[in-house]
């Protein structure tokens, strides 16, 4: 009886450690892969556009895959940082700010015909706007997307700064949260101008969501390093490699379609260094700009 009691005590003592190891295994190799997406447009639109990618990953990895659209860019990146997501598609600014606080690893990004792994932002105005250059927007109200959006906020702000216009001194910054909301606000004359992703702007035109004769592009941005698929810390190396290969080896046109991509290619932290320089330009005049996206 004494030996039995000792064995029971030992087993009870070890139970917490067994639980921790089980949790560790689940964390390193989850039973369901949670994929984080940014709310660049409405959540239903983002989910619909990315469904072919979800199906591709589920089939290739042989495990359930769940798409999760964050309430904001910061919410998606924070969820990745704290392990509530396994991978996420992060814009350069979102990635840069979160990687200062967590061991995130970028592993793949889309590449496109002619321009490679880059895209652009645009600043648009109503078609009948008298503005012919960015400097003509002085004194205006200008709309932007999510505060952490690379092409919806940071790059347009950099473009305006490069033209000598600083927010709150030379123009009023209006945050609308999403690219499509910015386009709609400009088309309906609710703001003087707006900054957003050029690919999203062009798709809104193709789909008839905004009338082609209601808006025009005032300025295109420099080439922006593409968004990056990023691992959270703690994923098993073997699972990371399976996920990496599921991206870089795919030629599935449906999975690549929403990204307008020819393929996914490997990427590393240094690929977004030029964006770090743009962030520095904006924070020089507005040191608090980073704080609003955390």
What is the percentage of the chain residues whose pLDDT exceeds 90? 86
Evaluate whether 33-112+225-272 and 121-222 have a shared fold: yes
Q: Look at residue 286 in the predicted model and tell me its pLDDT.
A: 82
Measure the CA angle with vertex 73, ends 71 and 75; round to 5°. Answer: 55
Q: What is the mean pLDDT of the chain?
A: 90
d(CA 41, CA 244): 26
User: Which pTM was predicted?
Assistant: 0.85
The pLDDT, as a whole number, for residue 8 is 42
**Domain edges within the chain:** 33-112+225-272, 121-222
Rounded Cα–Cα distance for residues 54 and 33 (Å):
10
- For 33-112+225-272, which CATH class? alpha beta
Residue-wise pLDDT for 45-60, tens only, equals: 999 999 999 999 999 9
Within the chain, which residues score under 70 in pLDDT?
1-25, 291-294
User: What is the pLDDT at residue 293?
Assistant: 54
294: nearest Cα among 84, 100, 97: 97
CB 122, CB 251: distance < 8 Å: no
Contact 126, 186 (CB under 8 A): yes
CATH superfamily assigned to domain 121-222: Periplasmic binding protein-like II (3.40.190.10)
């Amino acid at each position: 009886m004494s030996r039995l009691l000792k064995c029971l005590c030992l087993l009870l003592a070890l139970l917490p450690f067994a639980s921790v190891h089980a949790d560790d295994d689940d964390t390193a190799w989850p039973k369901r892969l949670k994929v984080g997406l940014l709310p660049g447009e409405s959540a239903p639109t983002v989910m619909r556009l990315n469904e072919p990618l979800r199906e591709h990953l589920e089939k290739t990895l042989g495990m359930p895959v769940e798409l999760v659209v964050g309430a904001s860019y910061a919410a998606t990146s924070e969820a990745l940082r704290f392990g509530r997501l396994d991978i996420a598609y992060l814009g350069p600014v979102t990635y840069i700010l979160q990687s200062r606080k967590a061991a995130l690893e970028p592993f793949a990004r889309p590449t496109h015909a002619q321009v490679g792994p880059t895209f652009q932002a645009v600043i648009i105005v109503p078609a009948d706007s008298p503005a012919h250059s960015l400097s003509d927007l002085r004194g205006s109200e200008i709309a932007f997307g999510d505060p952490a959006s690379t092409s919806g906020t940071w790059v347009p702000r950099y473009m305006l700064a490069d033209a000598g216009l600083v927010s709150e001194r030379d123009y009023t910054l209006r945050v609308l949260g999403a690219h499509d909301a910015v386009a709609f606000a400009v088309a309906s004359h609710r703001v003087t101008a707006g900054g957003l992703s050029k690919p999203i702007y062009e798709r809104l035109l193709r789909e008839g969501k905004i009338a082609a004769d209601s808006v025009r592009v005032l300025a295109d941005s420099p080439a922006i390093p593409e968004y990056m698929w990023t691992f959270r810390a703690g994923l098993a190396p073997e699972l990371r490699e399976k996920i990496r290969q599921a991206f870089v080896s795919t030629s599935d046109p449906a999975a690549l379609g929403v990204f307008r991509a020819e393929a996914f290619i490997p990427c590393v932290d240094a690929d977004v260094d030029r964006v770090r320089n743009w962030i520095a330009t904006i924070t020089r005049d507005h040191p608090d700009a980073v704080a609003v996206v955390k």
